[in-house]
């Protein structure tokens, strides 16, 4: 199974192969600022699953160091249209080979089978008007890739 995606202007195109490690809604303030929305809907993958097909020159990386965990998150966006696409956290040994892909940039349909969140992070920061989803595992903060793969939560 592979999924294609792009930024809003289409300059950056990518393909991601195989199943995500998890699908996550993140309610942290940094994800809100980065997307300009109420939360960020992230696909968690290994970096080896992601292939950028076009637009390398349009990708710029913002080093987001003001994070709750204290580790720097590298957030990639399109310099032409501003779409948030990818984030990595190489400072954090538990996530160093993983990549977060903003699911809003994926070419998906509305069906739950294509992309439904399995987990929610930073629920302590969730907007009060937004009720918790059914069938998600929730965490107050972050989870390590290892815990996600094991299916445990804190
Ligand atoms: Zn773009
Ligand atoms: Zn976040």
* 151 in any annotated domain: no
Separation of 113 CA from ligand 2 center, angstroms?
A: 23
- Which residues, at least 6 apart from 144, have a Cβ–Cβ distance to it below 8 Å? 92, 94, 95
* 16 in any annotated domain: yes
Res 28: pLDDT: 92
Token pair for 80: 């032409």
Nearest to residue 63, comparing CAs of 30, 95, 25? 30
* 118 in any annotated domain: yes
* 153 in any annotated domain: no
Separation of 56 CA from ligand 2 center, angstroms?
A: 24
Token pair for 30: 């940094």
* 30 in any annotated domain: yes
Return per-residue pLDDT of the chain as tens, 154 residues. Answer: 899 999 999 999 999 999 999 999 999 999 999 999 999 999 999 999 999 999 999 999 999 998 877 889 999 999 999 999 999 988 877 678 999 999 999 999 999 889 999 999 999 899 999 988 888 988 887 776 666 766 544 3
Protein residues placing their CB within 5 Å of the ion ligand 2: 26, 28, 31
pTM of the model: 0.89
CB atoms within 10 A of CB 92: 18
Separation of 55 CA from ligand 1 center, angstroms?
A: 8
- Residue 20: which CATH number? 2.170.150.70
Count of domains observed in the chain: 1
Res 38: pLDDT: 96
Residues facing residue 63 across a β-bridge: 74
* 130 in any annotated domain: yes
- Grouping H, G, I as helix, E, B as strand and the rest as coil, residue 58 is helix
* 154 in any annotated domain: no
* 152 in any annotated domain: no
Res 151: pLDDT: 58
Element (H, E) at 34: helix 29-35
Q: Could you list the residue range(s) of the whole structural domain that residue 87 is in?
A: 2-146
Ligand with smallest separation from the Cα of 120: 2
């Amino acid at each position: 199974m592979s999924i294609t995606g792009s930024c809003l202007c289409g300059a950056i195109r990518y393909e991601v192969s195989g199943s995500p490690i998890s699908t996550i809604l993140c309610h942290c303030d940094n994800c809100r600022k980065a997307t300009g929305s109420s939360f960020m809907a992230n696909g968690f993958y290994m970096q080896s699953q992601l292939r950028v097909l076009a637009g390398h020159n349009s990708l710029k990386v913002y080093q987001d160091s003001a994070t709750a965990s204290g580790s720097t998150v590298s957030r990639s966006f399109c310099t032409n249209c501003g779409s948030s696409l990818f984030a990595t956290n190489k400072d954090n040994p538990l996530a160093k080979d993983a990549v977060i892909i903003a699911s809003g940039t994926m070419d998906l349909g509305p069906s739950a089978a294509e992309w439904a969140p399995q987990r929610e992070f930073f629920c302590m920061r969730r907007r009060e008007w937004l009720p918790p989803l059914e069938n998600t595992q929730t965490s107050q903060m972050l989870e390590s890739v290892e815990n996600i793969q094991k299916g445990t939560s804190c």
